[in-house]
Amino acid sequence: MAEHVEAVAPREIDSEDAKIVTLARSARARTGAAEGAAVRDTDGRTYAATTVALPSLRLTALQAAVAAAVSSGAEGLEAAAVVTDADSVDTASIAAAHDLTATAPILRANARGDVLGITT
């Protein structure tokens, strides 16, 4: 398995990445979930989701967003964003995004939308 590195976030992110951070924040705020996530596929379409914690189904927010993208026909990802209180994006979430595109950057943001790190 390839090693994943989280880099210090740039001072500014481009408008397309800011959009997926906003979508992830909105999804999390709307449901009160532990995490919110959004992905942008290689066609520019976006998908947002939150943590799924049912007795019979458990998905991280990013796994759920990747599942939504795949079920809609996405063949790859340009980028992903996770809004979380955690200090890092968990390995299962990273693996789900990188199953589609191994080089897709994953932005980790706090509830205010500040990007705190980028996993590559």
Interval 81-91 mean pLDDT: 96
Higher pLDDT, 10 or 63: 63
16, two tokens: 């397309």
Interval 75-79 mean pLDDT: 97
Our CA angle for 36, 78, 116, nearest 5°, is: 50
Say what the pTM is: 0.92
pLDDT at position 10 is 60
Average pLDDT, the chain: 93
pLDDT at position 3 is 60
pLDDT at position 119 is 92
All domains in the chain, ordered by first residue = 6-119 (3.40.140.10)
Q: For residue 13, what pLDDT band results from cuts at 50, 70 and 90?
A: confident
- What is the residue-wise DSSP string for 57-117? EEE-HHHHHHHHHHHTT---EEEEEEE-SSSS--HHHHHHHHHH-TT--EEEE-TT--EEE
Interval 81-108 mean pLDDT: 96
